[in-house]
Amino acid sequence: MKNIKINVDCFKKSAMFMAGFSLYQCLRIALTASSFALKRFGIPRRNVDIFITKIHNSMEVAIFLGILIATMYIVLIPGKHARFNGIVSIFTNWMVCLMFFVVLVAFGGNGDKGNLTMYYWGLVGSGFAMGMNQSIAMAVSVENISYFAGSIPLAGVQVSVYHILFLYLNKGRPNYDVNYWILVHQIIMAIIISGVAAILWTIGFIEDHKMQLCCEEEGEDALKEQKVKIVILDSSEKDEQISQEEKRSRKKSERTSQLGAEAEEEDENVQLGKKGLKELIRRSTQFLQINFKQRSRRSRERSSGNRFSPVLFLKGVYKAISPIMMSTVAMGLVYLVFPAIAPYRLTNLDTGHKIDIVILITFVAPALINIALCALKVGPNCDWAEYKFWNYTWVFAVPYFACIIMFFIPAHYPEAKFSQLMRSSKYMLGFVCFTFALSHAVLKTVGFTGAGVQNTIKPVVITNTDLDLSDDSIPSVEGSHSENGATTGSHANRKSRRSRRRGSGPQSPGGKGRLRPEPRDNSLNGQVSSFNILLSYLMLVIFAFIGDGYLKTLKACEANRALWPTANMSFLRSLAFWVSMAFRRGLRSFGEVFTLNVREQLMK
């Protein structure tokens, strides 16, 4: 049974990694390969910006709608149906793969011109499937989000390397349509990547679903395999820890640690105090396992029909407010300036492309480092209330906002020395873009990884005086899972209740002999994680359209700098002008986001 569980965990980690790797393949097809699609569909090169903006905006809205629907499902689904979320995630992974077949047929078929409308709606459908899959994936496997988020930026690097190699190997090849085959092969690669992800996901989460059903059917027998992470302290150490906690904060004394946690390695199940004994470890572990099993069963029976609780949900969001806001800020503002303003508006196409590649590589580095930290169990997938130093990641918001401001200066103050330096020096522009990309990647990666684990069940802390070692009802090490386990558990829990009535029951470090009746529900983590991605993409879509409206306003005003609209305005009035105009034009663009006649709009 243990080997099967390890294999399932490996499949789930691999599936999360491949799902993240396949996630942005549709955007890479739409954006990175846009110049090749133009020639295939016979669209004039002067309309490349309209083509990219049209498809990108439509896909971002479709992604948001997919995330919205999936998040509503995750949050509002009754608890008794939540065990089927893994099966739903299998469906969304296969939907991502199947939508690429639609894109392939639209681009590769229909003679010399392809089918532009089908291609457009195929990419929009891929975006919708991507949004649903992203939200559900981050909800059903919150403990593996680092693998999911870490592999997302790899798609950009993979596509860039593929384009470089393909163009180099087929340069000057006679009677070979490079613009056609480069995108056909890219779509096929996306099908293979998403197909592998769907297969791994199916294997991992079907087995996981079977294990859940097994636990429900076997009841007490299945719960015997439950491991509980506990911390045993000597009574003198306990007194010292209580004193330290009281000195830190009186308010924290009311908070109690909870029973249960994820299964750990055997050597990490128990952390000893300086006077701990092997027999104490064995007996206390068995005692808490029995206690946890009965509590978990009662909790599951009561929560099986629970519906959405707004108060509980808001409490869960509040506990994760720091990482949620971190990822929202990082995701929300990125398309306001990147890549339309920085780097391409501030330099030529060749330099901008080189800087763009550097940015793609920069996105990857923090994500891979985060995977390594989480694998070593020192990453941000922990309780930030305990490991407070992860909140200091907010320091990266300072250069992040500073770089955004710097990108706007050359457009509005072209005569300033800084503006001239940004336009003339590729190293200066590259440094600012690198700083922006690094700050964005760190904030996004750490925020997404931490948001979904702030409501995890905490381990219980007991002292060696809480246990009666002379009690023979607790079985020996060899017989700890014997047939008499149920009787033993009942006897141990009666002793536990008598002990608590005397005031010497298990306590938390800041406790006063209190113990919550039930452990917290870990399913709240999935709801908070889905809400986090929904909020992040809501801000992304809003500011993406505001950025689009700003660029359209700026282009109209730059036609005649002598009639600059804010020349005689104060800073606040000019700021209000640009924000209002960007919002109006962005709202107009949002109203035109979807169309049934794509070619007519692109040929205007």
User: Residue 182, class by beta-carbon neighbours within 10 Å (0-12 exposed, 13-18 middle, 19+ buried)?
Assistant: middle
Structural domain including 100 reads 1-218
User: Are β-strands 230-233 and 460-463 bridged in parallel, bridged antiparallel, or unpaired?
Assistant: parallel
Candidates 397, 394, 407; CA nearest to 433 is 407
pLDDT score recorded for residue 211: 72
pLDDT digits (tens, 9 = 90+) for 481-493: 434 444 444 444 4
| Total number of residues shown for the chain | 604
User: Are β-strands 270-271 and 460-463 bridged in parallel, bridged antiparallel, or unpaired?
Assistant: unpaired
Domains in the chain, number: 2
Cβ contacts of 201 within 8 Å, gap of 6 or more: 15, 18, 19, 89, 90, 93
pLDDT band per the 50, 70, 90 thresholds, residue 403:
very high
Residues 397/439, Cβ–Cβ less than 8 Å:
yes
Residues 353/163, Cβ–Cβ less than 8 Å:
no
pLDDT score recorded for residue 277: 52
Candidates 268, 263, 276, 191; CA nearest to 232 is 276
In this structure, the answer to whether residues 121 and 63 fall within a common structural domain is yes
Please state the rounded mean pLDDT for residues 243-254: 50
Of residues 500 and 185, the one with the higher pLDDT is: 185
CA 404 – CA 174 distance, rounded (Å): 46
Cα 166–Cα 167–Cα 172 angle in degrees, nearest 5: 120
pLDDT score recorded for residue 43: 83
pLDDT digits (tens, 9 = 90+) for 548-604: 899 889 988 888 888 889 888 898 999 999 999 999 999 988 888 888 888 877 766
Is position 123 within any domain? yes
The last residue of a domain, from among 218, 245, 277: 218
In this structure, the answer to whether residues 161 and 254 fall within a common structural domain is no
Which contiguous run of DSSP H or E holds residue 601?
Answer: helix 598-602
pLDDT digits (tens, 9 = 90+) for 72-95: 998 887 666 777 888 999 999 999
In this structure, the answer to whether residues 60 and 205 fall within a common structural domain is yes
- Six-digit token string for 467: 């246990």
Q: Which percentage of the chain shows pLDDT scores above 90? A: 36
pLDDT digits (tens, 9 = 90+) for 286-336: 555 555 555 555 545 444 445 667 888 888 899 999 999 999 999 999 988
Please state the rounded mean pLDDT for residues 529-552: 91
Candidates 526, 79, 76, 525; CA nearest to 299 is 79
CA 449 – CA 389 distance, rounded (Å): 15
In this structure, the answer to whether residues 209 and 241 fall within a common structural domain is no
Cβ contacts of 352 within 8 Å, gap of 6 or more: 339, 343, 344, 346
- Six-digit token string for 135: 């939200």
User: Are β-strands 230-233 and 270-271 bridged in parallel, bridged antiparallel, or unpaired?
Assistant: parallel
Q: Is the pLDDT of residue 236 over 70?
A: no
Q: Which residues pair with 462 in a beta bridge?
A: 232
CA 328 – CA 440 distance, rounded (Å): 10
CB atoms near residue 576 (< 10 Å): 13
In this structure, the answer to whether residues 152 and 199 fall within a common structural domain is yes
| pTM above threshold 0.85 | no
Is position 511 within any domain? yes
pLDDT band per the 50, 70, 90 thresholds, residue 283:
low
Instruction: Report the number of secondary-structure helices (H) and strands (E) in the chain.
Output: 22, 3
CA 241 – CA 394 distance, rounded (Å): 30
Is position 329 within any domain? no
Candidates 338, 363, 331, 332; CA nearest to 153 is 363
Q: Is the pLDDT of residue 469 over 70?
A: no
Is position 551 within any domain? no
3-state secondary structure of 514: coil
Residue bearing tokens 């003679």: 111
The last residue of a domain, from among 521, 556, 576: 521
Residues 442/241, Cβ–Cβ less than 8 Å:
no
Candidates 299, 301, 309; CA nearest to 76 is 309
The last residue of a domain, from among 169, 200, 218: 218
In this structure, the answer to whether residues 206 and 256 fall within a common structural domain is no
In this structure, the answer to whether residues 208 and 241 fall within a common structural domain is no
CA 19 – CA 200 distance, rounded (Å): 9
- Six-digit token string for 122: 């195929």
CATH code of residue 72: 1.20.1250.20
Please state the rounded mean pLDDT for residues 134-154: 89
Q: Is the pLDDT of residue 227 over 50?
A: no
CA 37 – CA 26 distance, rounded (Å): 13
CA 301 – CA 303 distance, rounded (Å): 6
- Six-digit token string for 14: 């691999």
Is position 556 within any domain? no
| Largest Cα span, the chain | 93
First to last CA, the chain: 64
pLDDT digits (tens, 9 = 90+) for 516-535: 433 444 456 788 888 999 99
In this structure, the answer to whether residues 159 and 295 fall within a common structural domain is no
In this structure, the answer to whether residues 201 and 238 fall within a common structural domain is no
Is position 535 within any domain? no
In this structure, the answer to whether residues 211 and 129 fall within a common structural domain is yes
In this structure, the answer to whether residues 195 and 237 fall within a common structural domain is no
Is position 50 within any domain? yes
Return the minimum-mean-pLDDT range out of 127-141, 178-192, 263-277.
263-277
Of residues 442 and 548, the one with the higher pLDDT is: 442
pLDDT score recorded for residue 303: 46
Candidates 261, 301, 254; CA nearest to 285 is 261
pLDDT digits (tens, 9 = 90+) for 493-518: 444 444 444 444 334 334 444 434 33
Is position 404 within any domain? no
DSSP structure string for 412-478 = H-TTSHHHHHHHH-HHHHHHHHHHHHHHHHHHHHHHHHHHTTTTPPPPEEEETTSS-TT-TTS--ST
In this structure, the answer to whether residues 168 and 291 fall within a common structural domain is no
